[in-house]
């Protein structure tokens, strides 16, 4: 008997819990409309709510059925479905045709679901969501532009073309780009030529492996040229009576080394394009349509063009174009009788992603050109040992190596006194220092701080780089 009583009590308790839960759910879904009161009823789009009237009604009407749809569940209960964003009016009448109530029905995008999706996709981002008329307004400070784009894309799903963006991106949004161009050119050239001449009485003759009449004439006239393309020359000769034999050997060995280095630095706001040019412009004549000559200007030097975008935190997306160009001194191109310069250019254009302080080698080139030439007098030049006097040989090799490295930094402004200029160290001298002391510059005090340490350096002794 006690067991039956316990089971009955348990079932009764469960029934009471279920009944109270259903009552709570019903209370959350019902809205009470009082007689004659004009209130606003908020209905999410594509969702429905149940409205209960204080007094029984006999007739319902909705001003714009395209915004909200209604149906009566009883003489006191109304089912309202939001169809499209907007504002309309719900009117209730009694059996005698008297007005019971006017209710403004405002249908807006379902921001409750939208907020939940934002918390799932972008957790921890303080984004505030509000409705305005038939759209969505987003505000707050977000951590990156990529997350801002995701929030806007999600909002467009709920309110297409009706999203107002009042959000801002926090953190550092300015990027300083450091580009280093390093190029090394090496060249080696060697050559050996021989000129053999002989003469006797009124008869002269000889052999020249390079078909150079001047070299042969020098050999016959016992003359080593003072000005020559080769750096070394030796003249041998002997005579037997009236017969004279002369041998002129000319040798050349050249080595060259060239180093080019440029390090432009440039800062820009995230999403904005920045351009840097250290060089100049060259006028170039160009044929015009009317037959005349027009002038166009061509840039040369070190040029940087980049667009940074701070994607997420310290991740930076870079659209970068760099070029290093010089005027070719060996050009002989002309247009309408006007000499037109040509350029030696090294260009690159790419898009990379890197984090604050990281570097990328965005371009590299190793070029190795090799050429040799061997010319000789037929048959005679093939004789072992002795044939070297009837041959000439040339050897040329050129190597070049180019590397372009970029480094991106997130930067923020600083105080002016923390920066030092190259001109802070040296100032124009006074007349006393210039004429009496012979000083071409006078030193001045510079500000304190780590940035001014370079300006304090003394360059009176040896400084710079040593290349061995």
Residue 25's pLDDT is what?
31
Nearest-angstrom CA–CA distance, 324 and 363: 12
Nearest-angstrom CA–CA distance, 280 and 285: 17
Q: At what angle do helices 111-121 and 145-158 cross, to 10 degrees?
A: 150
CA distances from 378 to 210, 214, 318, 391 (A): 13, 21, 62, 9
Q: How many residues does the chain have?
A: 468
Radius of gyration for the chain, computed over Cα atoms and rounded to the nearest angstrom: 45
Nearest-angstrom CA–CA distance, 266 and 303: 11
CB 235 within 8 A of CB 246: yes
Residue 144's pLDDT is what?
75
CB 92 within 8 A of CB 100: yes
Domains of the chain in start order, with CATH, are: 40-108 (2.60.40.1380), 111-169 (3.30.70.1770), 415-457 (no CATH)
Residue 351's pLDDT is what?
92
Nearest-angstrom CA–CA distance, 62 and 104: 10
- Listed in sequence order, the residues at least 6 apart from 396 whose beta carbon sits closer than 8 Å to its beta carbon are 187, 188, 189, 190, 369, 370, 371, 372
Residue 319's pLDDT is what?
92
Q: Which two tokens stand for residue 280?
A: 């100049």
Give me the residues paired with residue 71 across strands: 79
Regarding beta strands 135-142 and 163-169, do their DSSP bridges make them parallel or antiparallel, or are they unpaired?
parallel
CB 340 within 8 A of CB 333: yes
Selection from 360, 390, 396, 365 nearest residue 375 by Cα: 390
pLDDT tens digits in sequence order for the chain, 468 residues long: 444 444 444 444 444 443 433 333 333 345 666 665 567 788 888 888 888 888 888 888 888 888 888 888 888 888 889 888 888 888 888 888 888 888 888 887 778 888 888 888 888 888 888 877 778 888 888 877 778 888 888 888 888 888 888 888 776 678 999 988 888 888 888 887 777 666 665 545 555 555 455 555 666 565 555 545 555 676 767 766 667 777 777 777 788 887 777 888 889 988 889 998 888 888 888 877 777 778 888 888 888 999 998 887 788 889 999 888 888 877 777 776 777 888 888 888 999 999 988 998 888 888 888 888 887 777 777 778 777 767 778 888 888 888 889 999 988 887 776 677 767 767 788 888 888 888 887 766 555 554 455 555 555 555 444 444
Secondary structure tally for the chain: helices H, strands E:
5, 26
**What is the reported pTM?**
0.56
Nearest-angstrom CA–CA distance, 347 and 248: 47
CB 320 within 8 A of CB 406: yes
**SS3 state of residue 63:** coil
CB 298 within 8 A of CB 326: no
Residue 30's pLDDT is what?
53
């Amino acid at each position: 008997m006690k067991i039956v009583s316990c089971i009955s009590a348990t079932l009764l308790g469960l029934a009471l819990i279920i009944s109270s839960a259903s009552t709570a759910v019903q209370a959350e879904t019902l809205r009470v409309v009082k007689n004659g009161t004009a209130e606003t009823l908020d209905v999410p789009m594509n969702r429905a709510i149940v409205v209960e009237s204080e007094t029984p009604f006999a007739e319902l009407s909705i001003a714009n059925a395209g915004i909200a749809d209604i149906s009566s569940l009883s003489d006191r209960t109304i089912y309202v479905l939001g169809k499209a964003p907007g504002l309309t009016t719900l009117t209730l009448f009694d059996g005698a045709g008297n007005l019971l109530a006017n209710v403004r029905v405002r249908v807006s995008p379902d921001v409750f679901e939208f907020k939940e999706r934002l918390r799932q996709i972008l957790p921890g981002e303080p984004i505030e969501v509000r409705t305005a008329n038939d759209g969505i307004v987003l505000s707050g400070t977000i951590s990156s532009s990529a997350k801002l784009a995701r929030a806007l894309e999600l909002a467009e799903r709920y309110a297409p073309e009706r999203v107002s963006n009042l959000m801002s991106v926090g953190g550092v949004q300015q990027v300083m780009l450091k580009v280093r161009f390093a190029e090394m050119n090496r060249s080696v050239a060697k050559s050996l030529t021989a000129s053999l001449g002989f003469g006797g009485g009124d008869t002269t003759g000889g052999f020249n492996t390079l078909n150079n009449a001047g070299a042969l004439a020098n050999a016959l006239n016992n003359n080593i040229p003072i000005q020559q393309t080769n750096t070394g020359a030796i003249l041998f000769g002997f005579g037997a009576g009236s017969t004279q034999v002369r041998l002129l050997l000319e040798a050349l060995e050249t080595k060259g080394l060239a180093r080019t280095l440029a390090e432009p630095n440039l800062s820009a706001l995230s999403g904005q394009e920045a351009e840097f040019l250290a060089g100049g412009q060259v006028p170039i004549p160009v044929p015009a349509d009317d037959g005349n000559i027009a002038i166009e200007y061509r840039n040369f030097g070190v040029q940087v063009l980049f667009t940074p975008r701070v994607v997420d935190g310290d991740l930076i997306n870079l659209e970068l174009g760099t070029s290093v160009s010089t005027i070719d001194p060996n050009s002989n191109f002309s247009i309408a009788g006007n000499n037109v310069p040509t350029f030696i250019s090294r260009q690159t254009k790419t898009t990379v992603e890197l984090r604050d302080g990281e570097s990328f080698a965005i371009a590299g080139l190793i070029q190795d050109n090799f050429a040799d030439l061997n010319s000789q007098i037929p048959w005679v030049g093939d004789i072992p040992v002795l044939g070297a006097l009837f041959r000439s040989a040339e050897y040329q090799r050129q190597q070049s190596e180019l590397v372009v490295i970029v480094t991106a930094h997130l930067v923020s402004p600083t105080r002016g006194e923390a920066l030092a200029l190259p001109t802070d160290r040296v100032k124009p001298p006074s007349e006393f220092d210039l004429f009496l002391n012979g000083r071409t510059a006078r030193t001045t005090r510079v500000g304190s701080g780590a940035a001014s340490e370079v300006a304090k350096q003394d360059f009176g002794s040896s400084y710079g780089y040593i290349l061995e």
